[in-house]
Amino acid sequence: MAQSTNNMTQSSRQRQFFGTDGIRGRVGIWPITPEFVLKLGWAVGKVLARQGNGKVLIGKDTRISGYMFESVLESGLSAAGIDTHLLGPMPTPAIAYLTRTLRAQAGIVISASHNPYFDNGIKFFSAQGTKLADEIELAIEEQLEQVMTTVDSAALGKAIRVVDAPGRYIEFCKSTVSSDVTLNGLKIVVDCANGAAYHIAPNVFRELGADVYELGVEPNGLNINLNCGANHPETVKQAVLEQQADLGISLDGDGDRVVMVDHHGHILDGDDLLYIIAKHKASRGSLLGGVVGTVMSNLGLEKALQQLGLELVRVPVGDRYILRELMSRHWNLGGEPSGHIVCLGATSTGDGIVTALQVLAAMRCQRMPLAEIRVGIDKYPQVLVNVGTGQGQAGKSLESPGIKQAVAEVEAELGGRGRVLLRCSGTEPLIRIMVEGEDEQRVRTYANQLAQVLKSEIG
C-alpha cells in the first residue's frame, strides 16, 4: 500500500471555517446562520470580483433551510456586484457540471449532504467544476474579517433562474456511457433519499430503458435522508427483494455518493463499486495508472486490486484529496467506501448517478448481473464507531495518553493483520473509530473498547 505524503500536511495557515467539504453545521447555530451566510456570500463575491465580474451559480438540496440560505447568499453576492444564476434543487455534481459548462466563475452548493434536515452547509466549486483551491478559501476567510460594504446601486448584481438545469444534467449523465449501452430489461429500484436527485435520477435510468421503481422522491424539506438513501441501504435492499428487482441504487441527499444492492439483497459500498469499475476499465485499457483510495479503504480492496496488478494509493478522507492525488498522478479513478467515486474524464467530482452508470455499463458489457461482476473482492470485517465530542475537542482527545495507549494495545493484538484508525470528522463534531481485521467479533470488541476509552477521556 502506498500512501501520499504531500496531501497529509495541512495548509500552513489554519482555516477557521472551511472543513474538508465546505462549511457545515446546525442551522441557527453560528456559523450556519443567515447573518454569517449573508456575509459569506459578500466575501466570496469580493474575492471573485478581483478576478473578473463573472456569474455565480447557486444550487441546493431539498432541506427547508435552503430557501433562507439561497436568499441571503444571493443578497451578499449582489452587494459585492456579482450576478447569480439560481438552479433550484440540484445534485451537487450537477452544480459542478453546470458551473463548468455555463462558464461561471464559481458554483455554490447549499447542502449538508447525508446529514439530517436540521443541518446545512455551503460548499463551492471553481470555474473548472473542482473544489476551490486552498488559497481561495483562505482569501475568503480573510475577506470575512473586513467590514461588509455595498457597491454602487448601478453595479449591484442581478439574479435569474436557470429553468432548464435538470434537463441539461440528465442529458450529461446519459452521455457518460457509450451510446450502445441500454438498460432494457432491467428492473431497478432507485432511492433518492428525498434529496436533490429526486427529479433527476429516476429519469436518467428510465430514459436509458430501465423499469424504475422509485423511492425517496417526495421531499418536504424535513425528510431528506430520513430512513432512506445511502445512509440507510436496508430500505432499498428491502424494496429490491420485494419487487424482485435486478438491483437497487441508493443515493444520498445531495446525490454525490451511492451504494448499490444486488438481486440477492447484498449491499455493495464504495469499495465494491470502485473495484468493479477499476476491473472493467483495466480490461478495456481505459484505466490510467492505479486507483486512489483513502485511509478508510478496505484492505480487501487493496488486495483485490493487487491481484489485478493495480496499485492503491491512500489519501486522507475527503474527495478534495482524492481529486488532488488523481490530478497529480494523471490517474482517472478514485473513491471512498462511503460511495464517493471520482471518475475523471466523465466528471470532475464525486457523482452518484454517474458512478452507478459506470457499474451498469460494466454489467451490460460483460453480460453479468451485479452479484457476479463483483466477484474478486473479499473485504475484511470493518467496524466503525462514532463518538460525539464538543466543538473543538476532537483533536485534543486524540492526543491524550490514554487513547494512544489503548490504540497501541489493540494494534499489538491485531499483530499486523488489521488496522486501527481514529480521525476527526471533517463535517461533524465526532471522532470516528475504525477497526479492521480478520475476525469480525474481535474487531467489534476492539472498536467498542476504544470507544469506551475515548468517552472516558472526553468526560
Hey, which residues are catalytic here? 113
- Cβ contact 148:39 at 8 Å: yes
CA angle, 233 as apex, 227 and 235 as ends, to 5°? 55
* 60/70 Cα distance (integer angstroms): 8
Whole-angstrom CA distances from 15 to 31, 105, 226, 277 are 14, 22, 32, 35
Distance CA(453)–CA(435), nearest Å, equals 14
* Alpha helices (H) along 313-351: 319-329
Q: What is the biggest distance separating any 2 CA atoms in the chain, rounded to whole angstroms?
A: 69
3-class SS at 343?
A: strand
| Phi, psi values for residue 155, rounded to 5° | -105, 0
Q: Which of 164, 156, 246 is nearest to 209 (CA)?
A: 246
Grid coordinates given for 255: 446525490
- Distance (Å) of CA 355 to CA 48, 76, 211, 258, 406: 32, 35, 19, 7, 38
Number of Cβ within a 10 Å radius of residue 442: 17
Cell 455565480: give the residue.
Answer: 56
Long-range contacts, 30-37 (Cβ 8 Å, 24+) = 32/119, 32/120, 32/121, 34/68, 34/69, 34/72, 37/69, 37/72, 37/73, 37/76, 37/122
